[in-house]
Amino acid sequence: MRAFEIGIPALFVLAACGGAELNQTRATNVQASMIAAEKVGANDQPKAALHLQLAREQMESAKRLAADGDQVSSDLMLERAKVDAELAMQLARTEREQQNARQAWEKIRELKQEQPRQPGG
């Protein structure tokens, strides 16, 4: 009984000194978002690349916070990393679509130039 009364506070102390683990589910989600952003070309666009970089940095911060035992802040940092990765992906997709639209109009312009003049026109 005595030994038990001594052991529980000791466990709490040990836990406090050993730190917490990174939330693996959230971390995996962040990784997936970062990979998705890279796949749509986020690294090739300055603005998207910046947010991807922020996501990576925040991932590292989340690891450090977890290691320091601040699970709540670590989770929040993972959430921040996730939205930055998502924003990077969204920016890359937007840029790609805008480029496609520009190319489509350029095609029309070229087509109009190729058109032979109408007689009497």
Q: Which residues bind other proteins (CB under 8 A)?
A: 72-73, 76-77, 79-80, 83-84, 86-87, 90-91, 93-94, 97-98, 100-101, 104-105, 107-108, 111-112, 115, 118
Give the residue with the Cβ less far from other proteins, 7 or 115: 115
Burial code (b: 16+ CB inside 10 Å, e: under 16) for 46-58 equals eebbebbebbeeb
Least distance from other proteins to the Cβ atom of residue 7, Å: 34
The dihedral built from the CA positions of residue 81, 84, 88 and 94, taken in this order, carries a sign that is positive
Minimum Å gap between C-beta 32 and other proteins is 16
Q: Which is nearer to other proteins, 67 or 83 (CB)?
A: 83
Quote the CA–CA distance of 26 and 14 in Å, as a whole number: 25
Place of tokens 């929040």: 76
Q: How far is the CB of 17 from other proteins (least distance, A)?
A: 23
What kind and span of H or E run contains 98? helix 71-114
